Structure 1
Amino acid sequence: MFHVPSHRRYIRWMRILVALLAVGTLIALAGCGGDDKPAYCSDRSSLESSVKELANITRNTGLSGLRAQLGEVESDATALVDSAKSDFPEQTSAIRSSVDTLAGAVRSLQANPSAQQAATVATDAAAVVGYVSDFTSASSSECD
């Protein structure tokens, strides 16, 4: 019915099985390492995308659209700052500060903002774009 292998055969099969498992483990570990990028690389991509979407805000999307997109920018900026602040303290501090400034300007907007208020928001948004670009340049060796 059931054949019990000899002791030598059993030992040989066990060695083969252990060797196969070791090779499989090494292949799996090689696939996980080496080319992995830091977490802040994907956070950087998310922030870049959400900042670019600010440019798509139109009169039709209005103030509510701007505030909604600002929420995305704030969330993505927080994720980036949290993941990269130890490696890029100056750049992440500048991003955090500029996003906070933009958020304050947007939150102070009324239903019909003045030209001065709109100009302030545009200037603050440009600062965010600049600091995100600075971070992108600083992190390019790790992320690109």
Structure 2
Amino acid sequence: MAAFPVIDKTVQKTMILIDEVSVEGNFHDREKAFKALRGTLHALRDRLQVETAAHIGAQLPVLLSGFYYEGWKPAATPRKDRSQEEFLEHIDEYLSDKAPEINSMHAVQTVFRVLNNHISEGEIEDILKVLPEELRELWPEQAQSLA
């Protein structure tokens, strides 16, 4: 079967992100890393306004953006989570039957550190401007200074 460069490239870029989450989070397992990444991206996407959420999706590899948009209901967003506990509950809910051994706080902090290296500084600044302080604290310190 002949190679299909656009598909190969998005798979490669997606695997790089998953591997970075795996290493950064000390998951030692791509599947767990992917679940942490997916659950965190969904919780973040649902907390943001539609335009900001779409800008993040545009910066993800095409394959990962498909997972990012999966099940999204823009009319039901943004959620009004104000506390870390409320935000983490959404990730716990996602992980509960998929990877209950993953700590949601650890997953979020890991994924945000990795995203910090893959999403433009301007977009991170936009994200941090709309999140309440308690949720901004989940991002790496150097990013918080942008807000």
Shorter-chain TM-score bucket reads under 0.3
| Structure with larger Rg | 1
TM-score (norm 1): 0.27
Structure number with higher helix proportion:
1
TM-score (norm 2): 0.26
